[in-house]
A and B are shown apart, each in its own frame.
Chain A
Amino acid sequence: MELTRRNLLGATLGATAAAPVLMSAGAALAQGVTPRRGGMLTTILNPEPPVLQIGVNNQTPTLIAGTKITQGLLQFTPKLEPLPQLAKSWTVSPDGLEYVFKLEENVTWHDGKPFTADDVVFSVMQFNREVAPRLRGVLAGIAEATTPDPHTARFVLKQPFEPFLLCFDATAMPIVAKHLFEGQNFRTAPAVQHPVGTGPFRFVEWQRGNFVRMERYEGYWKPGKPYLDGILWRIVPDGQSRRLAIESGQVVMTTATDIEPFDIPALRAKPNLAVTTAGWEYFSPLFWYDLNQRVGPLADKRVRQAMSMALDRNFIVQRLWFGLGRPATGPIASTTRFYDATAKLPPFDVAKAKKLLDEAGHKPGAGGMRFALKHLIPPYGEIWNRMSEYFRQAMRQIGIDVTLESTDAGTWASRVANWDYETTANVLYQFGDPTLGVERSYVTSNIQKITFTNTAGYSNPRVDELFQAGRTAATAAERQKAFSEVQHLLVEEVPLLWVVEVAYPTVTDKKLRNVIQTGTGVHASFDDVFLAS
């Protein structure tokens, strides 16, 4: 399948820096509206992030707001093809070891200093290497990073790594100013509190608990952009207030979890609002119930299969998520590369689930209960509580007595990291590729006392082998083979109870144009977003 990769690279190699701009302008013209310069975009930031520097913090609100200030080398289409951002073009050597990025010239930081390849190498080799644990393994595979000229950055890998380019999105590999971070503690440097980037908007003011204000950076490297005068992020902690804000026009955009799923149907009905779930393909968040395999009954495959069969995924998607998203079919989301539609979980079947439990030797005891489990509720809001409550009721139906434990974010993270839980729930991003975002939850080598690793403690040598094969295979076809097999295997073993492929809604006022253009959606820099009059 060499061709596929060639085609992909060919398409992007041919792309010019102006292409996306023309595309979006074209799209706008097609709707009969010329981009209008001016106007403030008011939107919501929720929950209020601690800082706005991507990398230092990687929570969704930080990423959404931070990408307007800080940029990456590339961005990605909904099909996960690379598009230029700070890199205007790039080449990959045929052996897949050498990556050369040609950078935009005339780019300046918000403090006026020029942006060069030194910044890129610093960001990749030092800043992100330290602050981004997820990429540490990938970055450790870089043998050499050089700057042949101030506008060229060259990376040589120790061995081929097919998804390497996917790591260069602003959300994964933010490019920061070397002169502001070098020699400092990256987490406490002054630039963390007052972020400086190359993006279309510069940070102006943050009244904590109230709002964050960004203004157009007049020295932005794309002439004539951005169209907007600035962005005002209001901090609205209450869900109903957020809904009211978008309905009443006090804000013109909401993102991610701003609007609760149950409010979406009403908002869809509003003629002046547009609701879309596009723009999350790069992340493909997958929701699952996490089962600690070290807990007695959960080590038994049959018990896990029974639990999986007790979940009515259609009900969950329709009733709890109000149709936002799709029932999960396996460990890899359907929007992620190498998804195999033939690997499918067995359907909802309570009777069969009970039979499986009987077979596993868990006969119903007093009160019809077979055994008891605790469930640690992730403290992230409404939908999580509902999902945990659903889990308890679904499990009780097949005779598993689930008790809920509530906790706080810190304790939740530390208990999950320390394997100190029986069951819980989680959502993980897949970052477009199984090697980047799926492998980590299943391989034996990643059983670590750190969150977002294989904390469930699932271990299967064959699964380890297959993920390794998928990681190192040089061609997409070879990778597909490995990943198909692993999907079939995992669907059989159900180490985790995959439930929903989450699709977060973006609600916009129809005056607001060009919002969702890429596979990262509202994480784009918004340099071509405008408010139609």
Chain B
Amino acid sequence: MSAFLRRFARNRGAVVGAVLLVLVIGMALFAPLLFPGSPWDMAGAPFQPPGEDGMLLGTDSLGRDVAAGIAYGAQVSLIVGAVSTAVALLIGVALGAVAGYLGGWADDAIMRFTEFFQTIPSFVLAILLVAIFTPSIASIIVAIAVVSWPPVTRVVRAEFLSLRNREFVQAAEVLGKRPLAIVLTDILPNALSPIIVLASLMTATAILLESSLSFLGLGDPNMMSWGFLIGSGRSVIRLAWWMSVFPGLAIFLTVLALNLVGEGLSDALNPRLRKRGAAH
């Protein structure tokens, strides 16, 4: 573990990403302390530029504090990102494990199914799903999960397929271990690194997706998310640039952080690749 941390810490970008991520999570956790009351409260005069009226990042068209919106928005964006990723992982790992471990027709069927989902333009499908099931945090999470599991399936399947033929798995089989035990104790733990890396990147993508949906007006109207902030600031961008610029930066930094952490994890969990990276 400490070796892993050392390797991770060697990647400067990853450390920056991790620090950023911790800040964002901290902001989400402490939003109620930093900004008591609701982010929807009209706290000041509308369209106050940053710094004025005691509003660090200005106010929006109803005089709501943009900074409070960003802090509470971190909650929504992170929850949506994390939960939808978890759901996608659940689907993806289950399908990928079955496909990779069983092989044969099950693999064939699952892979056709996965390819099918990869063919469908995912953003269009997400929009459709949210539109049809009316925008709410649940429908948004489901829609994002539904469009983001295929890569997980592919990765998990590939890992399982290669691990399945690894000698230690065969050895376990020869010892008479049950398939489920083999999957859970021998294969899955060794397939975790790419899944973890993928999960961090997927969370980033989910946050982007959520913001895109909110931007199109498909956000949950009771959830102050970053996408909602940009969407509501978009039409007043010339009047109040801060309304779209700051939430945009928040998304950018969070997504960037998740990507950097993902790359760091990938390097740290995959010493072979790290060496290659260093060699050049």
In the complex they form, whether A and B have CB atoms below 8 Å apart is answered with yes
Q: Give chain A's interface residues, CB within 8 Å of chain B.
A: 239-240, 243, 260, 262-263, 266, 319-320, 377, 379, 382, 385-386, 388-390, 392-393, 396, 403-408, 411
Q: With A319-B63, A377-B221 given, is the CB distance from A260 to B236 under 8 Å?
A: yes
Chain A residues with CB under 8 Å of B237's CB are 240
Residue of B nearest to A263 (CB): B239
Q: In the bound complex, what is the Cα–Cα distance between A377 and B220 (angstroms)?
A: 12
Say whether B42 faces chain A, with CB atoms less than 8 Å apart.
yes
Chain A residues with CB under 8 Å of B131's CB are 408
Chain B residues with CB under 8 Å of A382's CB are 232, 235
B232 touches A262 (CB 8 A): no
16 extra interchain contacts, Cβ-Cβ under 8 A, other than A262-B235, A390-B42? A240-B234, A260-B236, A262-B47, A262-B239, A263-B239, A266-B238, A266-B239, A319-B46, A320-B61, A320-B62, A390-B62, A393-B41, A405-B134, A406-B134, A406-B135, A406-B220
Chain A nearest CB, measured from B235 CB (Å): 4
Can you report 21 residue pairs joining A to B where beta carbons are below 8 Å apart?
A240-B234, A240-B235, A243-B238, A260-B235, A262-B47, A262-B61, A262-B236, A263-B239, A320-B61, A320-B62, A377-B221, A382-B232, A382-B235, A386-B62, A390-B62, A393-B38, A393-B40, A396-B38, A405-B134, A406-B217, A411-B134
Chain A residues with CB under 8 Å of B234's CB are 240
Say whether B165 faces chain A, with CB atoms less than 8 Å apart.
no
Residue of B nearest to A408 (CB): B131
Residue of B nearest to A243 (CB): B238
Which among A262, A392, A403 has the highest number of chain B CB atoms within 10 Å?
A262
Which among A239, A263, A382 has the highest number of chain B CB atoms within 10 Å?
A382
Q: In the bound complex, what is the Cα–Cα distance between A260 and B40 (angstroms)?
A: 21
Chain A residues with CB under 8 Å of B236's CB are 260, 262-263
Chain A nearest CB, measured from B248 CB (Å): 15
Which among B42, B47, B61 has the highest number of chain A CB atoms within 10 Å?
B61
Say whether B2 faces chain A, with CB atoms less than 8 Å apart.
no
**Leading 5 A-B pairs by shortest Cβ distance:** A404-B221, A239-B235, A406-B221, A319-B46, A406-B135
Chain A nearest CB, measured from B10 CB (Å): 45
Q: With A262-B47, A404-B222, A406-B134 given, is the CB distance from A389 to B40 under 8 Å?
A: yes
Chain B residues with CB under 8 Å of A411's CB are 134
Chain B residues with CB under 8 Å of A379's CB are 217
B26-56 vs A: 1/0 string, CB under 8 Å?
0000000000001011100111000000000
Residue of A nearest to B239 (CB): A262
B225-268 vs A: 1/0 string, CB under 8 Å?
00000001011111100000000000000000000000000000
Residue of A nearest to B45 (CB): A319
Chain B nearest CB, measured from A251 CB (Å): 17
Q: In the bound complex, what is the Cα–Cα distance between A362 and B268 (angstroms)?
A: 60
A388 touches B221 (CB 8 A): yes
B239 touches A392 (CB 8 A): no
A393 touches B222 (CB 8 A): no
Chain B nearest CB, measured from A395 CB (Å): 11
Chain B residues with CB under 8 Å of A243's CB are 238
Q: In the bound complex, what is the Cα–Cα distance between A100 and B115 (angstroms)?
A: 72
A407 touches B235 (CB 8 A): no
Chain B nearest CB, measured from A343 CB (Å): 29
A392 touches B40 (CB 8 A): yes
Chain A nearest CB, measured from B275 CB (Å): 50
Q: In the bound complex, what is the Cα–Cα distance between A385 and B64 (angstroms)?
A: 14
B40 touches A385 (CB 8 A): no
Q: In the bound complex, what is the Cα–Cα distance between A406 and B218 (angstroms)?
A: 8
Q: In the bound complex, what is the Cα–Cα distance between A385 and B42 (angstroms)?
A: 15
Chain A residues with CB under 8 Å of B61's CB are 262, 319-320, 386
Q: In the bound complex, what is the Cα–Cα distance between A260 and B222 (angstroms)?
A: 23
Chain A residues with CB under 8 Å of B47's CB are 262
Chain A residues with CB under 8 Å of B134's CB are 405-407, 411
Q: In the bound complex, what is the Cα–Cα distance between A260 and B237 (angstroms)?
A: 12
Chain B nearest CB, measured from A528 CB (Å): 34
Residue of A nearest to B47 (CB): A262
Chain A nearest CB, measured from B219 CB (Å): 8
Residue of B nearest to A379 (CB): B217
Q: In the bound complex, what is the Cα–Cα distance between A239 and B220 (angstroms)?
A: 22
Chain A nearest CB, measured from B107 CB (Å): 41
A240 touches B62 (CB 8 A): no
Chain B residues with CB under 8 Å of A390's CB are 42, 62
Chain A nearest CB, measured from B133 CB (Å): 12
Chain B residues with CB under 8 Å of A260's CB are 235-236
B186-226 vs A: 1/0 string, CB under 8 Å?
00000000000000000000000000000001011110000
The residue that B62 contacts in the complex, of A389, A396, A404, with Cβ under 8 A, is A389
Chain B residues with CB under 8 Å of A407's CB are 134
B15-27 vs A: 1/0 string, CB under 8 Å?
0000000000000
Q: In the bound complex, what is the Cα–Cα distance between A379 and B135 (angstroms)?
A: 12
Residue of A nearest to B223 (CB): A404
Chain B nearest CB, measured from A57 CB (Å): 23
Q: With A239-B235, A262-B236 given, is the CB distance from A405 to B62 under 8 Å?
A: no
Q: With A388-B221, A406-B135 given, is the CB distance from A319 to B239 under 8 Å?
A: no
Chain B nearest CB, measured from A517 CB (Å): 31
Which among A260, A319, A390, A407 has the highest number of chain B CB atoms within 10 Å?
A319
Which among B40, B131, B220, B235 has the highest number of chain A CB atoms within 10 Å?
B235
Q: In the bound complex, what is the Cα–Cα distance between A407 and B38 (angstroms)?
A: 23
Which among A403, A405, A406 has the highest number of chain B CB atoms within 10 Å?
A406
B232 touches A385 (CB 8 A): yes
Q: With A266-B239, A382-B232, A386-B62 given, is the CB distance from A403 to B222 under 8 Å?
A: yes
Chain A nearest CB, measured from B72 CB (Å): 14
A393 touches B221 (CB 8 A): no
Q: In the bound complex, what is the Cα–Cα distance between A273 and B145 (angstroms)?
A: 49
Chain B nearest CB, measured from A230 CB (Å): 30
Chain B residues with CB under 8 Å of A386's CB are 61-62, 232
Q: In the bound complex, what is the Cα–Cα distance between A392 and B220 (angstroms)?
A: 14
Chain B nearest CB, measured from A275 CB (Å): 16
B117-150 vs A: 1/0 string, CB under 8 Å?
0000000000000010011000000000000000
Q: In the bound complex, what is the Cα–Cα distance between A405 and B222 (angstroms)?
A: 8
